[in-house]
Structure 1
Amino acid sequence: MIDTVHESLSSILGWMSIACWIVVYSPQILENYQLQSGEGLSVFFVIIWLIGDLTNLFGALLAGLLPTIIILAAYYSTCDLILLWQIYYYRWKASKRSVSPLVSDVSVPPGPASENTPLLPTENVTDNAHKRPSLLSQFIRYSAAVLFVLMTGVAAWAVDQHIHRGEPRTQPEEVVEWRSQLLGWISAVMFLGARVPQILRNLETKCEGLSPALFMFSIAGNTTYSLSILAASMDYHHLFANASWLAAD
């Protein structure tokens, strides 16, 4: 039997991490939907992430790592595929719209045309500017959202404990062998390398089209994810088996 305190702390942090990563892609997916575009994301960034998530998943399965790690890797891969689909789907929609350049999304003022009617329809730029909240209000809103999600993870842990109350739990045996370690380190390199094309993309787009919540949930998810591994055990064998997963964060 593993130490109860370490098990509980690792499990709580693991559930908090899962809660963060379940919703981490949602703001960006919603942002893409609202803009009808995924051009804020680098295609290479998403593809490299997908490769990293797949190697992470298979490596975790081979190594018999914590269930939370395996669940997260499977979920990440699914979300990566959704983001890729959005990018290419909205590109396809944009190419179809470009075939009919006379069709405009901006409505022309009603009524008969006169000499005062503008030749080109205009948008109310002032109204659009007022719609964008201040940085402080965004920070407060997103911080509250992150705190709520973390507490949801704690609640999920409590429910899990209630369901399995009285059942003995043993720590899954961690297997250190070259295949899982190789996949784990490939995954770590992919995750670290994926930042480069996205940073270059941000220089072009000035971060337009990216949701700040994506990064706040990522930071919270990565932090609790790493802490859940460390809280389980500080034994050398445990740390060595999970080294690549810690490096990826």
Structure 2
Amino acid sequence: MCRCAPLPDGTPANPFAAAVFDDCVYSAHELASVVFGWISIACWFIASYPQIRLSLLLKRADCISSVLLFLWVSGDISNLSSLIILRQPLTQTIMGGLWMFLDSTLTAVTLYYKQKHRGKQLPEIDVKYMGRVRKSEIVIYTVFFAGCLASFLCYSVPVTTYIQRVPEMFGECIVPPELSHTSARYIIGSVLAYVTLPLYCFSGLLQVIKNCRSKNTEDLSPGFFAVIFTANAMQTISLFTFSQEQEYLLRTTPYIIAAIFPMIMDFTILVQIRYYNTKYQKARRRAEPDTQEYDGTGSGLTGSDISADGPADPLVL
């Protein structure tokens, strides 16, 4: 926490942003940008959990593309490096670190199950039943959310009050100097920032293509892509609300594109999950009477059985 000096014209900094986020903001739109940025961070913090949870419950991760995860992690490394080099706002830097950590965890889980099941015929499972949220989980999530909210309020309210009434208790916030556009630091950071564009943009596109080819999305978590969509939306709003100056918008163009295009891909994937899962459930219900007549097991089709081109290998990227 820190104390922000007022602007030369006497405009005071927002005490809440300074106390809680260590950011010096002097206007309502800057405060809104900080809040949206932290909402995005919160979304990214939990984004990978739905997919990791579903993969662990099903003990498989066939539908998610390994190439997508590789591009994500590569983009995360490049993105975090550029954020640090260009001295971007704290919210963006923390988000970059979270992207890399959580995507690396998801990649490790996915590659483990892909390697474990490589070349094997997986048995049919009821994904909807096995992936359902239990009542005990709901209780845990509710308690966790309530605890986080209570902790935030217990910290932010007193600290904001102290920084208003006793500002001398806090040190002054350090504002990093602007980088020269001709400096090596700025050039390297900008190059790394633009490198993330094809990595992030094509990763979602590859997942869309994989879904179209396999016509199977049964072990993809809708919650995973829904939270990512929300995180990208909040990040986009945060970037646009911080400033509308041309120089700022040009400098943050890589981050804006890297949020908007994946957001479109995430929405497309959500539509695919809805479409293919509904189609699979209908095909399974139609097949159950015939299957029971022949073998009495009542087993249905797998997701790949409804492919127009015949059975597909679920491990194909």
When normalised by structure 1's length, the TM-score is: 0.71
Q: Residue 210 of structure 2 corresponds to which residue in structure 1?
A: 201
Deviations 1:137-194 (A, max 9, x none): xxxxxxxx9xxx8xx78x9599557535526657654535221111111112210011
What residue in structure 2 maps to residue 188 of structure 1?
A: 197
Distance 1:45 1:195 in 2: 7
1:19-168 to structure 2, matched below 5 A, reads: 19-94=42-117, 128=126, 131=129, 156=152, 159-160=155-156, 162-163=158-159, 166=163
What are the Cα deviations for residues 46-105 of structure 1, in whole angstroms up to 9, with x where unaligned? 001111111110001111111111111111111221122112222343369x6xx9xx99
Alignment partners' CA distance in 1, 2:225 and 2:219: 13
Q: Which moved more, 1:85-94 or 1:232-241?
A: 85-94
**Amino acid corresponding to residue 66 of structure 2 in structure 1:** V
Distance between the aligned counterparts of 1:34 and 1:200, measured in 2?
26
CA gap 1:178/1:158 in 2 versus in 1, 3 angstroms: farther
| Counterpart AA for 1:59 | S
Deviation of the 1:6 alpha carbon = 2.6
- Unaligned 5+ segments in structure 2 are 1-6, 8-24, 133-140, 164-169, 260-317
Which shifted more, 12-21 or 202-211? 202-211
Task: For residue 25 of structure 1, give the secondary structure of its aligned residue in structure 2.
Answer: helix
3-state secondary structure, aligned to 2:117:
helix
Native 8 Å contact 1:52 1:191 kept in 2: yes
Q: Structure 1 residues 49, 133: closer, same or farther in 2, change over 3 A?
A: closer
Contact 2:82 2:193 in 1 (8 A): yes
What is the identity percentage for the equivalent residue pairs of Structure 1 and Structure 2?
Answer: 21
CA contact (8 A) 1:65 1:172 kept: no
Number of residue pairs matched by the alignment: 210
The residue type equivalent to 1:191 in the other structure is Y
Which consecutive unaligned segments of at least 5 residues does structure 1 have?
106-122, 135-144
Structure 1 contact 47–80 (Cα < 8 Å) conserved? no
TM-score by length of 2: 0.57
Of structures 1 and 2, the one scoring higher in RCO (CA 8 A, sep 6+) is 1
In the alignment, which residue of structure 1 is the partner of 2:243? 233
Query: In the superposition, relative to structure 1, how do residues 228 and 161 fare at CA in structure 2: closer, same or farther (>3 Å)?
Result: farther
User: How many Å separate the matches in 1 of 2:204 and 2:251?
Assistant: 25
2:272 corresponds to which residue? Answer: none
Query: C-alpha displacement at 1:15, in angstroms?
Result: 1.2
Deviation (angstroms), 1:12: 0.9
The residue aligned with 1:9 is 32
How far apart in 2 are the matches of 1:29 and 1:246? 27
